């Protein structure tokens, strides 16, 4: 009887343990935001997490601190913004979700209305809020939409040798309507601390006003007025790092229509279509739905081909005078295992 009861006890114990795991731990991991046992109200509007590969670590004082503010609205919190919060926003030093209403999501209420014609008002109010409450919480200030995916570590690399006390403005540069160009809103853009200071001061003095409903163009016009310099964010091979479309649109050569896509008419720099479109150190992609948000998170932080030695050996990020296609020593970019 002793030999019979021992295996039976073991099997009963396994069943009880599995039942506990499924009902408590697995359900929490699978859907934390909808699980009543997990109180997201404990979150504050500021999420300060330095998160890499599933493990938290102390902030590195040598790395630039990035504040990410995400433009959203009440009707998008579950379908879009929750997935931003659960993926790339955790890699920002500070993450803020800007909306027309304050909620326990949490979002910051900006006292504006919703709608496309309100996007620039929301942008103005968001940057004023960041300037008032977080000017020294970070070195750089990223604006992104709730359907933008950001590889924050690649952005840190891009910013690492730049001076936030210089008036700088980074993103995907478009050329119409503004002499020096402006950065695509969908691809996300970054302001240095000095650029943020000048922008808010210009709004306060009346030098810049709400002169258009087109958010990215209007902000670009103000950047030009206050002498904030646009930065070329392409890599040394001339490939873009900020993207206003998804990889599915930009990378394939097949299935393209014969007419030129609308966004090619806006580009400030030459664009390569197909696999050469995008830097190996891409920073953003736009029009990313909730499913692809998690797919990109997995592909970026978890998928690794065993035994593969990366073909692209980058030089350190260029300084302000750096130009794509040249290294700091004047030599061409390095390649290894190029096939």
Task: Point out the least confidently predicted range of 44-48, 134-138, 192-196.
Answer: 44-48
Is 62's pLDDT higher than 90?
A: no
Q: Using one digit for the tens of pLDDT, what is the confidence trace for 254-284? A: 655 666 677 777 788 888 888 889 999 999 9
Which runs of consecutive H residues, i.e. helices, occur in 206-288? 215-225, 247-250
Sequence-distant (≥ 6) Cβ neighbours of residue 103 within 8 angstroms: 74, 77, 109
Is 58's pLDDT higher than 80?
A: no
- Higher model confidence: residue 42 or residue 297? 297
Percent with pLDDT over 70 in the chain? 71
Sequence-distant (≥ 6) Cβ neighbours of residue 13 within 8 angstroms: none
- Higher model confidence: residue 291 or residue 49? 291
Four-residue CA torsion sign, 279, 241, 244, 173:
negative
* Residue 290 and residue 80 in contact, taking contact as beta carbons nearer than 8 Å: yes
Region of residue 138 (left: phi > 0; alpha: psi -120 to 50; beta: else): beta
How would residue 80 be classed by pLDDT, with cut points 50, 70 and 90?
very high
Burial, 58: exposed, middle or buried (Cβ in 10 Å; 0-12, 13-18, 19+)? exposed
How would residue 59 be classed by pLDDT, with cut points 50, 70 and 90?
low
pLDDT of residue 101: 93
Identify whether 51 is preceded by a cis peptide bond (ω within 30 of 0).
Answer: no
The residue-averaged pLDDT of 104-115 equals 92
The residue-averaged pLDDT of 115-142 equals 95
Is 335's pLDDT higher than 90?
A: no
Q: Using one digit for the tens of pLDDT, what is the confidence trace for 215-267? A: 999 999 999 999 999 999 999 889 999 999 999 999 986 655 666 677 777 78
- Higher model confidence: residue 224 or residue 56? 224
| Token duo for residue 10 | 């073991």
pLDDT of residue 333: 37
pLDDT of residue 324: 55
How would residue 308 be classed by pLDDT, with cut points 50, 70 and 90?
confident
Sequence-distant (≥ 6) Cβ neighbours of residue 168 within 8 angstroms: 162, 191, 192, 194, 195, 228, 229, 231
Other CB atoms within a 10 A radius of the CB of residue 235 amount to 24
* Residue 34 and residue 28 in contact, taking contact as beta carbons nearer than 8 Å: no
């Amino acid at each position: 009887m002793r030999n019979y009861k021992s295996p039976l006890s073991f099997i009963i114990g396994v069943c009880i343990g599995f039942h506990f795991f499924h009902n408590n731990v697995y359900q929490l991991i699978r859907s934390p935001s909808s699980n009543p046992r997990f109180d997201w109200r404990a979150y504050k509007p500021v999420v300060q997490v330095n998160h890499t590969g599933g493990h938290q670590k102390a902030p590195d004082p040598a790395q630039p601190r990035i504040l990410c503010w995400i433009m959203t609205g009440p009707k998008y919190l579950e379908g879009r913004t929750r997935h931003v919060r659960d993926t790339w926003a955790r890699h920002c030093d500070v993450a803020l979700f800007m909306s027309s209403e304050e909620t326990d999501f949490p979002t910051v209420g900006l006292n504006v209305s919703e709608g496309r014609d309100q996007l620039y008002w929301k942008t103005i109010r968001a940057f004023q809020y960041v300037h008032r409450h977080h000017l020294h919480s970070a070195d750089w200030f990223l604006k992104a939409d709730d359907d933008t995916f950001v590889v924050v570590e690649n952005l840190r690399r891009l910013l690492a040798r730049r001076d936030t006390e210089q008036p700088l403005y980074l993103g995907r540069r478009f050329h119409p309507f503004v002499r020096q160009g402006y950065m695509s809103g969908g691809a996300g853009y970054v302001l240095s601390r000095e650029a943020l200071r000048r922008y808010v001061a210009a709004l306060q003095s009346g030098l810049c006003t709400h002169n258009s409903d087109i958010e990215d163009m209007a902000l670009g016009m103000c950047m030009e007025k206050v002498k904030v310099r646009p930065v070329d964010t392409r890599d040394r091979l001339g490939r873009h790092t900020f993207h206003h479309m998804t990889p599915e649109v930009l990378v394939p050569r097949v299935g393209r229509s014969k007419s030129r896509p609308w966004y090619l008419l806006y580009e400030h720099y030459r664009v390569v279509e197909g696999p050469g479109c995008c830097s190996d150190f891409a920073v953003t992609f736009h029009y990313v739905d909730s499913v692809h948000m998690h797919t990109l998170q997995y592909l970026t932080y978890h998928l690794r081909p065993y035994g593969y030695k990366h073909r692209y050996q980058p030089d350190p990020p260029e300084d302000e005078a750096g130009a794509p296609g040249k290294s700091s020593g004047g030599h061409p970019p390095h390649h290894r295992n190029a096939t």
